[in-house]
Copies of this chain bind each other. A is one copy, B any other.
Amino acid sequence: MKNQNQKIVIIGAGLCGSLLALRMAQRGYQVQLIEKRPDLRDVTQDAGRSINLALSDRGLKALRLAGVEQDALKLCIPMLGRMIHDKEGNTFMSNYSGRENEYINSISRPGLNMLLLDAAEAMSNVEIIFNKGCTKVNLENGIATFKDYNTKDEITYSGDIILGTDGAGSVVRKAMFNDRNFLFSFSQNWLTHGYKEITIPAAKDGGYRTEKGALHIWPRGEDMLIALPNLDGSFTVTLFAPYSNSDYCFDNLTTPEMVMAYFKTEYPDAVTLMPNLVEEFFGNPTGPLGTIKCSPWSSFGKVCLLGDSAHAIVPFYGQGMNASFEDVVVFDEILNKHESKNNESNDWKKIFYAYEMARKKDTDAIADLAVDNFHEMKEHTASPLFQQKRKLEMAFESQFPTEYFSKYSLVTFNEDITYHAAMTLGRAQDKAILNLLDDGKLTDDMAVKEKLALVKKETAEALHDDEVVGNL
């Protein structure tokens, strides 16, 4: 079989690592997938870890490539739009798209991870090893050292290459950061906000206590609550709030009374659905929200980063997992182009370089879009100008479904457009619409078709103006 003489060590068996192991095994490589945690199929989950995620078209495309899309869809709960909750408990629905069949899915992180581990394990050329934490990596030789958490022994694994899918706190990336022999660009940027998870349990009859088919948002300017449904009838609620320097922040929400007073004032309709609010608030950890970028992603043609280890992003576009899965698609395309035709060893240096050249501007783009969306969700979803814009975009998308795609649609439902292209066009459209609205140029007497033509014209001009500066 092709590639069977080449061995790949993958460090980290989370979502990205498991899918990557499966796909590399399908391409014929000998794969060792090594994970520091115990096998999550055998143990109960950590409390307070993000247990559901948004899966959308880019992620689905990757799962399809590996032949596991249909199985994954069985775990999905479609969310058709944002359900906005105001301070009086009134709600209104803002669909994600004006087109039919464009929605995102709530999916269980451990459920999907187990599915991927099962699929990888079913391959004869995959070995999965748990309870071994990477402690250091010899980048030039492709040798990684691990600590066995059961025996406490030190053990090394080596391969033709090592792929680091060990997440935002990546040990593989730290080895690159600490290697002074090449210039490693790196950034970690933390929001001033942290997050805390709380549960809305299922109703007594096993049903949902609020609308199932939506991503719920309680936007409050500086802070917000969101909720995603789970298959068992519960919702996972996440509070996003500043750490400090605010009326309500983690630094001053220190007593049960203060927490209850805060939630009753700001989220009156939610508080009645969360019987264990106080207990969970003080029992669950407060997590930080960070963006990590770096370059180069590979060193010495021996080691390469994929997924969160290369580009961790904040969760506000629902694209973290989707972007990591899309890495596997892009890496696979690069292998189609550059994999050795005969059964010889690949030129991995060239492959890793081509992969980063093809991919990095897109992961940078989704990182920036995710931070933008943080502000949009907590502040703008409640603003009249933003709501006018969304209403107009819904009209464009429903009446001219092949002619207009909002930034959200471009990013979320158009997996054949890159994140960078989606960002560039989406931002220009937003700027055009907001300024046309602000200037009063989109009047009620105009037909939707006429409005669309004007928005397209303004968008093209905005893009051209930026191009002139960029192409100087």
Contact = CB atoms under 8 A, between A and B. Distances in A.
A383 B472 CA distance: 8
Contacts of A190: 183-185
A469 interface: yes
A380 B471 CA distance: 10
Nearest to A188: B186
Contacts of A379: 472
Contacts of A376: 472
Q: How many copies does the complex hold?
A: 2
A385 B467 CA distance: 13
A469 B186 contact: no
A262 to B, nearest CB: 22
A170 to B, nearest CB: 16
Contacts of A386: 472
Contacts of A4: none
Interface in A233-248: 243
A177 to B, nearest CB: 9
A288 interface: yes
Contacts of A288: 183
A434 B188 contact: no
Interface residues of A, number: 30
Contact of A468 (B184, B189, B438): B438
Given A379-B472, A386-B472, 9 more contacts: A183-B243, A185-B190, A186-B186, A187-B188, A376-B472, A430-B469, A431-B466, A435-B468, A435-B469
Q: Which 5 A-B pairs have the closest CB atoms?
A: A187-B187, A183-B190, A185-B189, A438-B468, A185-B190
A327 B218 CA distance: 41
Interface in A293-315: 293
Interface string A444-472: 00000000000000000010111011001
A395 to B, nearest CB: 20
Interface centre among A183, A380, A462 (most CB of B within 10 A): A183
Nearest to A375: B472
Interface in A412-443: 430-431, 434-435, 438
Contacts of A187: 185-189, 293
A470 to B, nearest CB: 10
Nearest to A432: B465
A291 to B, nearest CB: 9
A430 B472 CA distance: 11
A190 to B, nearest CB: 4
A465 B431 contact: yes
